[in-house]
Amino acid sequence: MFVTFEGCEGVGKSTQLNMLKEYLKKTGQDAVYVREPGSTAISEKIRSIILDPENTEMTAQTEALLYAAARAQLVAEVILPSLAQGRTVICDRYVDSSVAYQGYARGLGTEFVRSVNAFALENAVPDVTVFIDLRPSAAFRSVRREDRLEQEAADFHDKVYEGYIAQAKASNGRFVMIKPEKDKLATHKKILDALRERGVIK
């Protein structure tokens, strides 16, 4: 199974991924954990170019292509080989991030972003996408703004959220919408239930 996690900045996605990882370790369930952009030597180098706050002159097109390039390497080097071995792959962000951030928020359009990514994906489509469903305007205040994408204005992050919602509606059930609770353990349990229901974990 190929599982991805998506959400806006500062919604607790990393915390939930760590809790899931701990749970799967504790219960002896194998999985491969990767994050985007990154998780291969080449993809991590591309990541540092994309997120460098000094790269103010980067065009939206360059940004989209760099995310796709980092993804192509990760798909070929880790995701497809791991799935071929029958392992579960859990990926922090994937192509839905590109559609939401570059397609909707940057305004490149979903068609451009999807066609660029078609080269990268090689049919590696997630079975389940866990979406932490929280508007960034509420979530974002608690986040430190350090990298180039985080420094975007609030309306950029609102558009990211709208982009996710549009994709979720069109996803034929691939998106699992998780409304985060104040208690992160309660959110964790919601995610476990959803993944159990879909046969991803025990």
85 binds ligand TYD (CB under 6 A): no
According to CB under 6 A, which one of 73, 98, 167, 187 is a site residue for ligand TYD?
A: 98
12 binds ligand TYD (CB under 6 A): no
The minimum distance between CB 14 and ligand TYD, in angstroms, equals 5
163 binds ligand TYD (CB under 6 A): no
Structure tokens at 63: 């940004």
Residue among 131, 134, 194, 135 at smallest CA distance from 168: 131
- Span 107-136, contacts to ligand TYD by CB under 6 A: none
Give DSSP secondary structure letters for 89-137. Answer: EEEES-HHHHIIIIIIIS---HHHHHHHHHHHHTT---SEEEEE---HH
Pairing of strands 32-35, 89-92: parallel
According to CB under 6 A, which one of 17, 34, 36, 180 is a site residue for ligand TYD?
A: 36
Q: Are 79 and 34 in contact (CB under 8 A)?
A: yes
Round to the nearest angstrom and report the end-to-end CA distance of the chain: 13
* Count, residues near ligand TYD per rule CB under 6 A: 14
> Quick one: 36 or 128, whose CB is closer to ligand TYD?
36
The minimum distance between CB 67 and ligand TYD, in angstroms, equals 4
Q: Which residues bind ligand TYD (CB under 6 A)?
A: 9, 14, 35-37, 67, 92-93, 97-98, 101-102, 149-150
